[in-house]
Amino acid sequence: MVYVDSKCKFYMNLITKLRNIQRKNNSLLCIGLDTDVSKIPASLKHHSNPQLEFNRRIIEATTDLVCAYKLNLAFYESAGEKYYETIQKTLGYIPGKIITIADGKRGDIGNTAEHYAKIIFDDWKFDAATVNPYMGKDSIEPFIKSEDRCAFILALTSNPGSKDFQYLNVEGKPLYEHVVESAKKWNAKNNIGLVVGATHPAELKKIRSLVPEMPLLIPGIGAQQGEMEETVRSGCDRNGELALINISRGIIYASQADDFNKRAREAALKYKEQINNFRG
């Protein structure tokens, strides 16, 4: 994808933007802002929008340690009336050089998908969105139709239910590999990435071999118990880049006391360094 830097109006491909920030911050870490209103420290409860203030402080404490922030839309939708505003203002706190991902796993017929893509890219101005492949190409097209949009397509997810359909044997190959092949085929604008869970390191390695130059968004480290070393070694490209290692709960809830932002920074720094140890 390309993007417009809010200051200099300079267009840049997603992969270039990703490599730039991964080098500048020397980090593959993506912090997942799965901000649960029930887990926000008591000291923020008096704030007019505790979820937003929580995000502001987490972002302020970590911008030099990450390549991306991923906002899990469910946590903002479930908070109710301030959904739109909280996301809009949270994005305002994130420096333009850092990748922003709307994690909503959308997927619907073209006419509807246009609406999901419109708010994510035109209104909120995310760099990228996660999408579900089940409904096929026309459900993904609005997310990749122009070079200033980008989609991370679910390939092999990190949860236990990934075993229900994603591994089904389709003509000698698991379903998720068919998804990977379709994603390659649809990638004419070079603005597609894949979601691959850290809980499947061998499969991650295979997928990386199939798409040597595609960004891979990798959740499942931390609360979901994925193993760091194998994930980093398998998920990076040959330059030790293009993997986005997402950690959510392990960072943003490192502490629920008033020092949550400091503890989040410490956790982010620890994860960033752990990741870098294995980048080779």
Q: Is 162 in the site for a second copy (CB under 8 A)?
A: yes
Q: Which of 17, 70, 105, 272 is catalytic?
A: 105
- Asked if 178 interacts with a second copy (CB under 8 A), we say yes
SS3 of residue 173 by DSSP: strand
Distance from C-alpha of 125 to C-alpha of 134, rounded to nearest angstrom? 25
For CA atoms 19, 17, 231, 224, the dihedral sign is positive
- Residue of 13, 237, 246, 50 lying closest to 130 (CA atoms): 246
List C-alpha distances in Å: 116 to 105, 111, 184, 205, 209: 10, 9, 23, 32, 31
Decide if residue 119 touches a second copy (CB under 8 A).
yes
What torsion do the CA atoms of 277, 233, 248, 85 make, to the nearest 10 degrees? 110
Instruction: Quote the DSSP letter at residue 187.
Output: -
Residue 116 engages a second copy in binding (rule: CB under 8 A): yes
Task: Enter the tokens of residue 139.
Answer: 């459900």
Which burial class, exposed, middle or buried, applies to 96 when counting CB atoms under 10 A from its CB (0-12, 13-18, 19+)?
middle
Among 7, 9, 80, 209, binds a second copy (CB under 8 A): 80
Contacting range for a second copy; rule: CB under 8 A; set: 58-66, 103-111, 230-238, 258-266: 103-111
Using rule CB under 8 A, residue 85 touches a second copy = yes
Query: Least separation, in Å, of the C-beta of 159 and a second copy?
Result: 4
Question: CB under 8 A: which stretch of 9-17, 115-123, 227-235, 260-268 binds a second copy?
Answer: 115-123
Single out the segment in contact with a second copy by CB under 8 A; choices: 163-171, 209-217, 229-237, 269-277: 163-171
Catalytic annotation present for 105: yes
Enumerate residues 238-277 that contact a second copy by CB under 8 A.
Answer: none
Q: Which of residues 37-76 bind a second copy (CB under 8 A)?
A: 72, 74-75
**Whether the Cβ atoms of residue 188 and residue 221 lie closer than 8 Å to each other:** no
Closer residue to a second copy, CB minimum distance, 124 or 271 = 124
Question: Residue 100 interacts with a second copy (CB under 8 A)?
Answer: no
181 binds a second copy, rule: CB under 8 A: no
Binding site residues, a second copy, CB under 8 A: 34, 36, 72, 74-75, 77-78, 80-81, 83-85, 105-113, 115-116, 118-119, 123, 132-140, 154, 157-166, 168-171, 175, 178-179, 182, 224
